[in-house]
Structure 1
Amino acid sequence: MAAFTELVFSGVQPTGNLHLGNYLGAIKRFVEMQERDAQCLYCVVDLHAITLWQDPQALKGQIREVTAAFLAAGIDPKRSIVFNQSQVPQHAELAWIFNCVARLGWLNRMTQFKDKAGKDRENASIGLYDYPVLMAADILAYRATHVPVGEDQKQHLELTRDIAQKFNNDFAGSILAHGHGEQFFPLTEPLIGGPAARVMSLRDGTKKMSKSDPSEYSRINLTDDADAIAQKVRKAKTDPEPLPSEAAGLAGRPEADNLVGIFAALRGITRDEVLKDFGGAQFSSFKPALVDLAVEMLAPIGAEMKRLVADPAYIDTVLADGAERAGAIAAPTLDAVKDIVGFVRRGPALKAV
């Protein structure tokens, strides 16, 4: 394996209906990160998906659809490692060890559990509550140095760092005795998203774009064809004012800010650069340009996704190969953790105490 200066890990849940927000906030960035001097692992996090009940047959299809989206968007399964979480058992096994390191008070502060569980928290699954610990195991099984995160996951990455630090402190003597230096797990750094990491609804610029929104016109699905993309952009909510000449003028105009942000992210430029061309223009001029750009960038991805989903055997081969390569990284980490913690395992310990 080539020597890399960084190891980047990230995952996407296979919960169906991937949309523009998933693409700009995550998948597009995954493709760009292949150009870094980094080993990139991109995981379909199916263990996380079942923290809420999933139809088993639908879940299989959704795992393959997310994988197809990765590949269609430009992730190269030879340069990066593409796999689904449940095929690499070290994720779940390390999560249990971290359950014994993490503190109840830390999890009680996780706001995303409160948001997802709602008022009926007593009926939420233990998995939903423990989700951040499994996320820590996902990252630290590979001793990842960097993780791309959006605003909704920053708190979970902070917990990952807390777990890593506590493990390093709790087992400092054993870590040294087994020849791992002073710190076994890294304090993983966030890779904060760009200007359009948070894409908002096309019908309400104050709400995040979501697959659960009842209106199909609130989002552009990655499987939408050119006609559907164009129609949704044309119908996107706007305001009556012309576009400002600089990004500061978008304050208080959520729909305008969202559409300009989408254009900027698809083109790979800043909002200010967009407004150099469109400042002072009405939306009747801006929307056709956004339609052309969105169709140019997204329609080929949707077409390629459909082609790949029609070939599940190929997708399964990609996932199996990725799982084997991911396991080759995660297995030595877990073996070392077992030695450090004091477990007796099959085969010789990495270094006898």
Structure 2
Amino acid sequence: MPRLSAITPSGPATLGNYLGAIRRWAREGRPGDLYFVSDLHGMTTPYHPQRLRARSREMLALLVAAGIEPEQVFVQSDLLPQLGPLTWVLECSCSFGEAARMTQFKEKSAARELAATPVRVGLFTYPVLMAADILLQGADEVPVGDDQAQHVELARALARRFNGAYGEAFVVPEAVTPPAAARVRDLSDPSRKMDKSARDSAGVLFVMDDPDLLARKVRRAVTDGLGRLEYRPDEQPGLANLLEILAACTGQPVRAVAAGFSAYGEVKKAVTEAVIDELRPLRERMRGLLEDTTELDRIRKRGAMVATDRGAHRLATALRLAGVG
């Protein structure tokens, strides 16, 4: 049962991206699984083209550096010749009401309107593009968090509708909840997740941050004045976040790591050391790939060929059944 997962280059990769998803993909991935950089999804809000291109390469390097097999990774825009026609076919199977009900669109468009900035049509239609990503590759399972589960449901509805109206072309995917992973929160505000596109990066640990910067950010992490070294996420979210990061980096149960300290400063020192040790080899492998542009280009081209070959028959079938192929 092949799986498909993606990461959007909306900002530099964070410790949360790595511990919460990418490291798990590398450890638990199976033959036939695919992982991609969803750079087209990064165009739904204002962006800088050169920065998008650079971050896409950085994300690709990260996936490979993390240990994912090179032939299992690709960049979404390299499949534009396939995704373009398939997205149009699916848009012609999707109702306006279905697209308008997407919670992410409603939330993000409301924020745009509040800020008096234009809402892009791509923000409205990108769940259909996401459906094309999934259906093109014939993924049986799509591991997603709660914020993306609705989009997988749309992909399921469109696959069933097309298959029923025109003939069998698509696998109907299942949204699956990944195994519990690190829940990394912003060090400055533990009420929000560690976000790669956050405007204030003071509480965000980026994978490519140097050790001194990582140390400064951890030292400034919000804790509390209770003085109790216990794992209590509801009452002490800042401390709990630090303990969860330490547990994820060291592979120990979170309540076990909490028992070994007598002061908040000790916790921060241990977290700093663990994060630096966790990210150092990853950062070195990423730098090597980013400096070896020939090798990274080769990996990218190979991944695009694998994904293109895998989706070719499915796209041809869908276009023929839709009456345009």
Superposed pair shares fold, TM > 0.5: yes
Secondary structure in 1 aligned to 2:5?
strand
Q: Which residue of 1 aligns with 2:206?
A: 221
The CA RMSD measured in Å over matched residues stands at 2.2
| Counterpart Cα distance in 2 of 1:155 and 1:262 | 29
* Distance change (3 Å), C-alpha of 1:12 and 1:281: same
Secondary structure in 2 aligned to 1:250?
coil
State the 1:119 CA deviation: 4.5
Please give the residue correspondences for 1:249-328 in structure 2 after superposition, counting only pairs within 5 Å: 249-275=232-258, 277-278=259-260, 281-328=262-309
2:178 corresponds to 1:192: yes
* Distance change (3 Å), C-alpha of 1:236 and 1:314: same
Q: Which residue of 2 aligns with 1:66?
A: 59
Count of aligned pairs: 320
2:7 corresponds to 1:12: yes
Residue identity opposite 1:162 in structure 2: A
2:33 corresponds to 1:40: yes
Describe the superposition over 1:142-173 as per-residue Cα deviations: whole angstroms up to 9, x where unpaired.
Answer: 110112212321221222222222223333xx
TM-score by length of 2: 0.90
Residue identity opposite 1:11 in structure 2: A
Residue identity opposite 1:224 in structure 2: D
* Distance change (3 Å), C-alpha of 1:267 and 1:164: farther
Residue identity opposite 2:180 in structure 1: G
221-230 or 137-146: which moved more? 221-230
Contact 1:90 1:334 in 2 (8 A): yes
Contact 2:152 2:173 in 1 (8 A): no
Contact 2:75 2:304 in 1 (8 A): yes
Contact 1:204 1:218 in 2 (8 A): yes
* Distance change (3 Å), C-alpha of 1:168 and 1:122: farther
State the 1:201 CA deviation: 0.6
Identity of aligned residues (%): 37
Unaligned runs of 5+ in 2: none
> 2:78 aligned to 87, 99, 124, which one?
87
Secondary structure in 1 aligned to 2:32?
strand
| Counterpart Cα distance in 1 of 2:217 and 2:290 | 24
State the 1:83 CA deviation: 1.0
State the 1:24 CA deviation: 1.9
| Counterpart Cα distance in 2 of 1:167 and 1:190 | 22
Unaligned runs of 5+ in 1: 1-5, 346-353
264-273 or 286-295: which moved more? 264-273
* Structure 1 runs, 4 residues or longer, greater than 4 Å off: none
Secondary structure in 1 aligned to 2:172?
coil
Secondary structure in 2 aligned to 1:189?
strand
State the 1:214 CA deviation: 4.1
State the 1:193 CA deviation: 5.0
Describe the superposition over 1:47-78 as per-residue Cα deviations: whole angstroms up to 9, x where unpaired.
Answer: 11122233222222111111111122222204
* Distance change (3 Å), C-alpha of 1:307 and 1:151: same
Q: Which residue of 2 aligns with 1:141?
A: 136
Residue identity opposite 1:337 in structure 2: A
TM-score by length of 1: 0.83
